[in-house]
Structure 1
Amino acid sequence: MTIEIAQNKIQVTKLSLIEATGPDSADFLHAQFTGDCKSLAENQMMLTSWCSPKGRVLYLIRIVKNKSKLLLLVPTDQKTDLLKRLTMFIFRSKVKFIDCSESHSIIVYHGESSLDSTYPNDTIKTKFTDDQYWVITPKQRQKAIWDSLSMETATPEHIKIHDVLYGIPSLPEELSDQFLPQEINLENLNGLSFEKGCYPGQEIIARVKYRGKVKRSLKRYSIKKSKPIEVGSKLIDDEQRSVGTVIESIEVSADHQQVLAVVNIDCNEVRIAHEPASNLTAIATRTL
């Protein structure tokens, strides 16, 4: 069953906003995250990651460049721990992190709008895909911008559908420190650079790539099933071997689900563990 992104839908996200300022902010984040933070164009958004020394993704972070600042969009339940860990590595770097979550709103919508380049200087508009736009604005401007877009309120499922179609991962705390960034599609999403210098886990991440030993990748699957598939569910092959993990799941219809899962590259036939009849059908994801 095919699914499409619902157009003219809008939502205020539950992400938190952190502002990184100071003359060393770009260099500092460039040396911590897997993406090329220094090459971002003005108001460009990137989904990147911060990894453990073993090269496993601890956090997924959206970054937007705005003038001399870098804005970090992070899950609210991970914000405190992320900030605590980042500040441990500042040392003499001239960088400061400011939590702007209470003063700003982050709006995401699907479908082009009449909101053009004349919006206020303190409001940022960017896009991540051709179907998804983001607006970061002071809370006092939220209603005016919302009204100007004249769209229907989106549900969390609308956003999930977009991410599943494009192969955009999410990483709840229980799946932290399990996957290499290239295993969750970050290289294809431009959130992993092999041209930059060192960052935590870089040696292992690069070694796996250049020795051709990437064993898992992010895949999109369809399944005829009425009950929702839980994130974290294990996938098995015909020989009952564990071959993958579900990282996102959406309900397409009353008896149909689609998932994103990190699965062994050489595995073609997969099913949900403990459900022998649950064959999953692989579907291609869209590209940016």
Structure 2
Amino acid sequence: MAATHSPPEILSDWSAIRVTGSDRVSFLQGQLTQDVATVLPDQPRLAGWASAKGRLLCTTWLCDWNDALFLLLPAELAADVTRRLQMFVLRADVQLEISPNTVSLIRDFSDDKKLINNCYYNDNRFDFAVTNDWGLQLRAAGTEDPPAGDDAGDTASEKLRSLCIAAGLPVITTPTREAFVPQMVNLDLLDGISFSKGCYVGQEIVARTQNLGRIKRRMFRFQCAQTDVSAGDPVMNGGQAAGTVVDAVTTDTGCELLAVIKLDQLGGALTLAGDVSLTHAPLPYPVPEQAGH
């Protein structure tokens, strides 16, 4: 029988935080931008976790699997996010741990993928589609697959970053922690924010940003000829600060990146350090505030 998906390529720089206990839904409901009650076994969700000042500490894919909620996020943030979430547990019946489950990147080849709300199922894994046929796979600890090569981890990580950038999906890392409110990285356009649920950390700032006029910064996709571009790098417009790089990945001709840009600077000649010009590239969803530029 032909394989229905590519061998999982382990993402060594990604982790899953496992949240268990009878109060896990209500606990995360008070922390994340997403309505956690809508996260069902066949309905994963994109979410953000913000500080009290409304600045994103992380973005995460939130999955319900095997009587637990999992937060999939970059490994560099996992320990600190777990520690800081633990501070809010108090008397709730909630347990937090960095899961031994592996996070991998796969490509699904099956004719009948049984894709339900961007997730696939198997007895020992949870697969969440990032874009097109590609997905993140959360596998049960101890599940083995043939090795995909010594550099598979680096290759998979670059591939995932390329997919997220092309899809306009923000991934917060250490250089951009607490740099953006959720709307700046388009979480509201990606259904990553619930404006109808109850209070959560940073909710007052997020709601005020949404309700008190036009959002002044948004995330856009760009290309450039430079290759050494990193999250947190400044974007300039004629010597003025215009924005910040969210993430970037090297391509054959330079790099592709996502950057949060001040809307009143969007029509200018945007550059990186060294006067490297940025060229707009399309996102797969509309950004309403771009219409006037």
Bin for the TM-score computed over the shorter chain: 0.7 to 0.9
Alignment of 1:198-213 (within 5 A): 198-213=199-214
In 1: Cα distance, 2:185 partner to 2:35 partner: 17
Q: Which residue of 2 aligns with 1:162?
A: 163
**Cα offset, 1:18, TM superposition:** 2.1
3-state SS of paired residue (2:277): coil
Alignment of 1:65-144 (within 5 A): 65-66=64-65, 68-101=67-100, 104-113=101-110, 120-143=122-145
Q: Which residue of 2 aligns with 1:235?
A: 235
Q: Which residue of 1 aligns with 2:291?
A: none
Alignment of 1:243-262 (within 5 A): 243-253=242-252, 255-262=253-260
Give percent identity, aligned residues only. 25
3-state SS of paired residue (1:142): coil
- Cα separation, partners in 2 of 1:233 and 1:270, compared to 1, 3 Å: farther
Q: Which residue of 2 aligns with 1:173?
A: 174
Q: Which residue of 2 aligns with 1:48?
A: 47
- Cα separation, partners in 2 of 1:227 and 1:19, compared to 1, 3 Å: closer
Q: Which residue of 1 aligns with 2:261?
A: 263
**Cα offset, 1:41, TM superposition:** 2.6
1:148-197 CA distance string (max 9 Å, x none): xxxx9844322121111111112221211110111112112221111111
8 Å CA contact 2:76–2:173 kept in 1: the answer is no
**Cα offset, 1:213, TM superposition:** 3.6
**Cα offset, 1:94, TM superposition:** 1.3
8 Å CA contact 1:269–1:279 kept in 2: the answer is no
Task: Give the aligned residue type for 2:130.
Answer: F
List alignment gaps of at least 5 residues for structure 2. 115-119, 287-293
Q: Which residue of 1 aligns with 2:188?
A: 187
In 1: Cα distance, 2:45 partner to 2:121 partner: 22
How many equivalent pairs are there? 271
TM-score (norm 2): 0.83
Q: Which residue of 2 aligns with 1:280?
A: 278
**Cα offset, 1:33, TM superposition:** 0.5
8 Å CA contact 1:194–1:206 kept in 2: the answer is yes
Q: Which residue of 2 aligns with 1:23?
A: 22
Q: Which residue of 2 aligns with 1:63?
A: 62
3-state SS of paired residue (1:78): helix
Task: Give the aligned residue type for 1:261.
Answer: A
8 Å CA contact 2:102–2:140 kept in 1: the answer is yes
- Cα separation, partners in 2 of 1:219 and 1:264, compared to 1, 3 Å: same
**Cα offset, 1:273, TM superposition:** 4.5
Moved more, 13-22 or 111-120: 111-120
In 2: Cα distance, 1:250 partner to 1:231 partner: 10
In 1: Cα distance, 2:186 partner to 2:220 partner: 9
- Cα separation, partners in 2 of 1:115 and 1:141, compared to 1, 3 Å: farther
8 Å CA contact 1:43–1:124 kept in 2: the answer is no
Cα RMSD for the two superposed structures? 2.7
3-state SS of paired residue (1:27): helix
Task: Give the aligned residue type for 1:93.
Answer: A
8 Å CA contact 1:21–1:69 kept in 2: the answer is yes
Alignment of 1:31-46 (within 5 A): 31-46=30-45
- Cα separation, partners in 2 of 1:12 and 1:203, compared to 1, 3 Å: same
3-state SS of paired residue (2:162): helix
8 Å CA contact 1:9–1:111 kept in 2: the answer is no
3-state SS of paired residue (1:204): helix
In 1: Cα distance, 2:42 partner to 2:136 partner: 10
Task: Give the aligned residue type for 1:259.
Answer: L
**Cα offset, 1:246, TM superposition:** 0.9
8 Å CA contact 1:165–1:285 kept in 2: the answer is yes
**Cα offset, 1:19, TM superposition:** 1.6
8 Å CA contact 1:45–1:127 kept in 2: the answer is no
**Cα offset, 1:245, TM superposition:** 0.6
- Cα separation, partners in 2 of 1:179 and 1:232, compared to 1, 3 Å: same
- Cα separation, partners in 2 of 1:95 and 1:226, compared to 1, 3 Å: closer
**Cα offset, 1:274, TM superposition:** 4.2
